[in-house]
Amino acid sequence: MKLPELCLVTLVGVTGSGKSTFARRHFAPSQVLSSDAFRAMVADDENDQSASADAFDALHYVAGKRLRAGRLTVVDATNVQRHAREALVAVAREHDVLPVAIVLDVPEAECWARTQTRPDRDFGRPVVARQHRDLRRSLRGLAREGFRQVHVLSGTDEIAAASISYEP
């Protein structure tokens, strides 16, 4: 896929779909703003869901600072809910930067299998199922929400084969 040199990359995918793995592989650590890191920053615990509102406030703030400085920024959060994506499209627009969505569409069973093996996650299956439903509902409307490019990577093979280049 060919991304604009300056854009706000919104990763979209349920827990365990491989967003953080993808971000590590394709982007520099400093380009990636993860909801986990911001929860840890504001609440000492990357899994503290009650800290989400403050964590995302802080994430949006930092994203805005980066975009204003002309720095490509990647948001590593599930972003399966429309309101989460709308906030990111708004931040991008405020700074005249193109919002781009990269969707990691991985079968629910696979995400659940991975989640169960993780020491750092204690989500139950219903959480994965709900996120997966939210994702399915989201897929068709992403361009209408304002994302200027929508890249849907379906399944582990397509995700593994993805490569990113940049256009001026």
Residue 57 CB, nearest distance to ligand CTP (Å)? 19
Give the one residue of 5, 6, 7, 20 binding Mg ion; rule: CB under 5 A: 20
**Please, what is the minimum distance in Å from the beta carbon of residue 13 to ligand CTP?**
5
Task: Report long-range pairs for 127-133 (Cβ below 8 Å, ≥24 apart).
Answer: 127/15, 128/14, 128/15, 128/16, 131/14, 131/15, 131/78, 131/80, 132/14, 132/80, 132/108
| Cβ nearer to ligand CTP, comparing 6 with 105 | 105
Nearer to ligand CTP, 20 or 81 (CB): 20
Residue 68 interface partner, choices Mg ion, ligand CTP, none, CB cut-off 5-8 Å depending on type: none
Quick check: 17 binds ligand CTP (CB under 6 A)?
yes
Q: Which stretch binds ligand CTP (CB under 6 A): 55-63, 65-73, 114-122, 147-155?
A: 114-122
Please state the separation of Cα 68 from the chain's center in Å: 20
Closer to ligand CTP at the Cβ: 13 or 99?
A: 13
Please select the residue that binds ligand CTP; options are 121, 127, 146, 148, rule is CB under 6 A: 121
Any contact of residue 116 with Mg ion (CB under 5 A)? no
What is d(CA 83, CA 89) in angstroms, rounded to the nearest whole number? Answer: 10
Q: Which residue ranges make up the site for Mg ion (CB under 5 A)?
A: 19-20
Q: Which residue ranges make up the site for ligand CTP (CB under 6 A)?
A: 13, 15-21, 78, 114, 118, 121, 156
